């Protein structure tokens, strides 16, 4: 047979199995030696299959190396503080923050390198050096938005209310028991996942936890390679477009998607264990439960991700940016031991119009909710603080861009 074939020319069974994979398959039946391929090039697919390139890393690579951190110099800080003061004189709404009104003549060059790294390199970066005690809450947000606009010019919506900022915290003002809250509003650990639909995930550390609460990152490509070598059937399961993703609570609607796919030569992950399968609150649902193979695949991803992860010891004032298609994240449980302020991260979902990855149709539904045309006409809200009163979510689980049918925000809930 030909050594290379485009998917559409494959026999029906393979076509079905890899229906959502936009790649060139090469010697799919070949069982010879390992092949190595460059990300960015058309994927040459062999069995076993491995990826290569800068997206392959593990935590051990950064043991004595924090090259992923940009330490702001005194001049950099002077520049951002000047931009803040200028911006405030313009009387522009925070939603209007852009490179044109938050000018960073010198720091912008360093930020361009971060953009390159996020899209074509290791996929993540930390910016350190802002002293949050120097700023009001609002100024702290403006600084965050101002710097972030150089990383991603588009700020996605995170729910149907139009929130652009999400507060990842367990506010001391809330009295709802932890087990009734969304995971991001508790002190509990969260497993490895991606925020489904998000391009670049940005976090600003307003307060770090006294004990625990570290954020961990893991490369999807590294996980893919390890699994390809040891258990290729797990990789096949992840690539199959048969993972049920619930997108509506009451109606219990869902779509089927792959957990990982290769699109335009790039491995992309869109997976959240808490978002797959029927939600416990949706009774009498027709949403398929995960198969045994899918449950096993999720377990293995979690294990390999942990074995290769990088612990980030984020400090107050840090900004973290990562490519949410290429990097999975988790966080450990934390305890503030009765401190007045809880761990508090402010999350944004960004997209860089020029450098953002093409999103495959199979993963586009939540992405469109955050960044699509529909999102344009919605009111955009920038809440500087968490809601003073916590309302218990009925259907939300995990982190995925809201979808129109999602009924968590309906008034009768
Ligand atoms: Fe998340």
Q: Which two tokens stand for residue 405?
A: 């049918």
Q: In the structure, what pLDDT confidence band is assigned to residue 23 with cuts at 50, 70 and 90?
A: very low
- Decide if 127 contacts 319 (C-beta within 8 A): yes
Q: In the structure, what pLDDT confidence band is assigned to residue 211 with cuts at 50, 70 and 90?
A: confident
- When pLDDT is averaged across residues 352-377 and rounded to a whole number, the result is 88
pLDDT at 210 over 70: yes
Q: How many whole angstroms from 399 Cα to the centroid of ligand 1? A: 5
What digits encode the pLDDT tens for the residues 46-65?
Answer: 444 789 899 999 999 999 99
Look up residue 18 and give its DSSP letter. Answer: T
Q: What is the pLDDT of residue 19?
A: 35
Q: What is the pLDDT of residue 400?
A: 59
The tokens 């503030």 sit on which residue?
Answer: 336
The tokens 């761990």 sit on which residue?
Answer: 343
Hey, how many other C-beta atoms are within 10 angstroms of the C-beta on 186?
Answer: 19
Strand partners, 276: 245
Q: How many whole angstroms from 200 Cα to the centroid of ligand 1? A: 11
Q: What is the pLDDT of residue 278?
A: 82
Q: How many whole angstroms from 34 Cα to the centroid of ligand 1? A: 33
In angstroms, rounded to a whole number, what is the distance separating the alpha carbons of residues 300 and 237?
A: 11
pLDDT at 355 over 90: yes
Q: Ranked by mean pLDDT, which of 49-53, 136-140, 377-381 comes out on top?
A: 136-140
Q: Which of 46-50, 84-88, 251-255, 304-308 bottoms out in mean pLDDT, i.e. has the lowest?
A: 46-50
Contacts of 311 (CB under 8 A, 6+ apart): 59, 214, 215, 216
Q: What is the pLDDT of residue 60?
A: 97
Strand partners, 125: 321
Q: Which of 105-109, 162-166, 283-287 bottoms out in mean pLDDT, i.e. has the lowest?
A: 283-287
Q: How many whole angstroms from 273 Cα to the centroid of ligand 1? A: 11
Q: Which of 181-185, 218-222, 246-250, 408-412 bottoms out in mean pLDDT, i.e. has the lowest?
A: 408-412
For all residues of the chain together, what is the average pLDDT? 82
Question: Which helix or strand (DSSP H or E) is residue 24 part of?
Answer: strand 24-26
pLDDT at 373 over 50: yes
Q: What is the pLDDT of residue 247?
A: 76
283 sits in the region (left: phi over 0; alpha: psi -120 to 50; else beta) called: beta
Q: How many whole angstroms from 120 Cα to the centroid of ligand 1? A: 22
In angstroms, rounded to a whole number, what is the distance separating the alpha carbons of residues 204 and 168?
A: 10
pLDDT at 33 over 90: no
Q: Ranked by mean pLDDT, which of 270-279, 284-293, 316-325 comes out on top?
A: 316-325
pLDDT at 22 over 70: no
Q: How many whole angstroms from 13 Cα to the centroid of ligand 1? A: 35
Q: How many whole angstroms from 168 Cα to the centroid of ligand 1? A: 9
pLDDT at 412 over 90: no
Q: How many whole angstroms from 325 Cα to the centroid of ligand 1? A: 12
pLDDT at 397 over 60: no
Question: Which helix or strand (DSSP H or E) is residue 13 part of?
Answer: helix 12-17
In angstroms, rounded to a whole number, what is the distance separating the alpha carbons of residues 10 and 1?
A: 11
Q: Ranked by mean pLDDT, which of 80-94, 269-283, 380-394, 395-409 comes out on top?
A: 80-94
Q: What is the pLDDT of residue 375?
A: 60
3-class DSSP assignment, residue 22: strand
- Decide if 345 contacts 185 (C-beta within 8 A): no
Q: How many whole angstroms from 283 Cα to the centroid of ligand 1? A: 26
Q: How many whole angstroms from 221 Cα to the centroid of ligand 1? A: 18
Q: How many whole angstroms from 82 Cα to the centroid of ligand 1? A: 32
End-to-end CA distance of the chain: 58
3-class DSSP assignment, residue 225: helix
Q: In the structure, what pLDDT confidence band is assigned to residue 21 with cuts at 50, 70 and 90?
A: very low
Q: How many whole angstroms from 2 Cα to the centroid of ligand 1? A: 43
- When pLDDT is averaged across residues 252-281 and rounded to a whole number, the result is 88
pLDDT at 284 over 90: no
Q: What is the pLDDT of residue 136?
A: 97
Q: Which of 22-36, 92-106, 145-159 bottoms out in mean pLDDT, i.e. has the lowest?
A: 22-36
Q: In the structure, what pLDDT confidence band is assigned to residue 186 with cuts at 50, 70 and 90?
A: confident
- Decide if 280 contacts 181 (C-beta within 8 A): no
Strands 37-38 and 51-52 turn out to be parallel
Q: How many whole angstroms from 198 Cα to the centroid of ligand 1? A: 10
What digits encode the pLDDT tens for the residues 300-319?
Answer: 999 999 999 999 999 999 99
Q: Which two tokens stand for residue 344?
A: 């508090």
């Amino acid at each position: 047979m030909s050594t290379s074939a485009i998917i559409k020319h494959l026999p029906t069974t393979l076509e079905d199995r890899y229906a959502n994979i936009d790649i060139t398959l090469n010697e799919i039946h070949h069982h010879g030696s390992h092949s190595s391929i460059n990300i960015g090039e058309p994927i040459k697919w062999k069995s076993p299959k491995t990826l290569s390139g800068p997206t392959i890393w593990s935590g051990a690579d950064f043991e004595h190396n924090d090259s992923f951190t940009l330490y702001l110099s005194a001049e950099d800080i002077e520049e951002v503080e000047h931009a803040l003061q200028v911006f405030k004189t313009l009387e522009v709404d925070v939603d209007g923050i852009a490179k044109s009104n938050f000018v960073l003549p010198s720091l912008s060059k360093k930020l361009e390198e971060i953009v390159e790294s996020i899209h074509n390199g290791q996929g993540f970066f930390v910016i350190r050096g802002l002293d949050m005690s120097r700023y009001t809450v609002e100024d702290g947000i403006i600084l965050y938005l101002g710097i972030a606009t150089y990383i991603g010019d588009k700020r996605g919506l995170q729910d149907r209310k139009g929130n652009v900022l999400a507060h990842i915290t367990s506010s001391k003002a809330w009295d709802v028991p932890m087990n009734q809250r969304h995971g991001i509003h508790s002190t509990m650990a969260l497993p490895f996942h991606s925020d489904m639909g998000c391009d670049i995930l940005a976090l600003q550390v307003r307060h770090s936890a006294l004990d625990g609460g570290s954020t961990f990152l893991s490369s999807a490509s590294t996980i893919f390679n390890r699994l390809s070598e040891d258990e290729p059937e797990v990789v096949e399961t992840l690539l199959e477009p048969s993972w049920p993703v619930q997108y509506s609570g009451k109606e219990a609607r869902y779509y089927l998607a792959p957990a990982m796919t290769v699109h335009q030569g790039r491995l992309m992950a869109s997976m959240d264990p808490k978002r797959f399968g029927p939600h416990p609150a949706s009774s009498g649902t027709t949403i398929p439960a995960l198969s045994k193979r899918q449950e096993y695949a999720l377990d293995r991803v979690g294990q390999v991700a942990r074995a290769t992860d990088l612990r980030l010891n984020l400090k107050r004032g840090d900004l973290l940016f990562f490519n949410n298609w290429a990097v999975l994240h988790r966080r450990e449980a934390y305890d503030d031991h009765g401190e007045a302020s809880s761990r508090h991260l402010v999350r944004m979902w960004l997209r860089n119009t020029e450098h953002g990855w093409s999103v495959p149709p199979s993963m586009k539904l939540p992405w469109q909710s955050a960044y699509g045309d529909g999102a344009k006409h919605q009111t955009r809200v920038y809440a500087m603080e968490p809601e003073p009163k916590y309302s218990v979510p009925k259907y939300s689980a995990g982190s995925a861009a809201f979808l129109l049918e999602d009924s968590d925000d309906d008034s009768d809930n």
